Chains A and B, each alone.
Chain A
Amino acid sequence: MRFGSNFVMPFLVLGDPNYSTSLKLLRIAAESGANALELGFAFSDPIADGPIIQAANYRALSSGITTEKSFMLLKELRKHSDIPISIMVSMNMVFRYGIAKFYNKCKTLGIDAVLCPDCPLEEIGELLAESKKNKIYQVFMVAPSTSSKRLAEISKHASGYIYLVTVRGTTGIRKSISKEVAGLIKKTKSSINLPVYVGFGISSRQHVKQVIEMGADGAICGSAIVKMIKAKNPPLEKVRKFIKSLSLD
């Protein structure tokens, strides 16, 4: 099992702000104490993302990033690091690439997991078949509104880890972790026997600590990192330090 407990998982958009800097950032993220990486394929219309990650998608696309170049970045990264990698990709990009071809490509590159944020249980069929065939984890999201009945259904199909969204709204920086998160973690863990990582709004070491104390197996931190990558020459050292600061030991 490549996804375990006490996991810190930074999120970056592949190709943000451009190919070469993105590769540097990916290597920094992989070598700064993170336990796994969640890497997004840039998409023109990401509906679950707030302004910070929308801007990252836009930067990457305007620098000329494509699906093929995103895969090239992953290939480069794999030469340097064996860290578990989860892909966050919009359904249309997988569909256009060809679902079977996409998963097969992930397998060739040693990608561990795939999450399509706009593909819920109702539409997951084809993805699930390919993820099984290629031995890639299919990650599911769970939300505060996910019913117990639905959790049971998700537990039948999910693998790798559960991406638990504890806030209402899009990705973005938030000031604090609400008290109801502990209950949500407990509810999810009681139905699904997989590591539960909390994402959306995880913005500091304090937040990571809090959700893990509340019983989560890990935390995913995106916007707080991506926010530092505004320019063509992002402060690489600052990013490194911040990612390091998130780690628990």
Chain B
Amino acid sequence: MRALANFYREREPAILGGGFILSLILAWQSVPSLVSLPQGISLFFTTPVEVIKAFHQLVVQNQIQSHFYVSAVEFIVGLALAILVGLPLGLVMGRSKILDAMLDPFVTAFNATPRLIFLPLLILWFGIGIWSKITIVFVGAVFPLLINTYEGVKNVDRVLVNVVRSFGANEWQTMKTVVLPNSVPYIVVGLRLAIGRALLGVVVGEFFAASRGLGYMIANAATNYKVDVVFVGVTIFMGLSLILTYFVKKLESRLSRWRPETAKNF
């Protein structure tokens, strides 16, 4: 008894959180056996067990795997391109007045505009295959990365720049030893935003025009009233978002070992 109480006390948040989700799922599962749903509603209703069955079937048919593969490629390639472009561009824009002045109107205009606006155009240009999705992921993710990196560079401590310059550091060494490490917390925030935008790009892009991918799977299932398949897709996206958030947090704490505890949650 004592051991059980201790077991509970040590894991209280996990037990309460997990227990609540579990009871919600149970409640959901028991709805059809408690009340008889009118036909108009039961057509669009499903239960957790049916969702699991649908998931199992889709896995057996190798459908989930092939849709997931397409979405994953779009997400990873688009995000990788956004990092490759946004990060260096943010760094140089923060350090060079000329580039800042040249590119600032462009960046501000694009950042203020909802980037999904470009989707029809991108589909005209790149077709309904993965490249239109990669580009929409890219334009969604590149700006938060660029802007946050830029902010980080602008907030660099002048004294620290003077310290390395007093040791004869050139611009590249100043970047490497002070500007970049100083920007890391900002870059991580940018990455977190960028991941959200990238997922949004994948889903909406595939809703809009695609023949593969998890977003396409959801949209297509909804059109055919396959509510259980829709839930399979939604659950997968939820799971992916949770996993990605977890990895960003891991990355953040790894990169901020040097910071005082109080400053870490910003």
The answer to whether A and B come from one shared complex is no
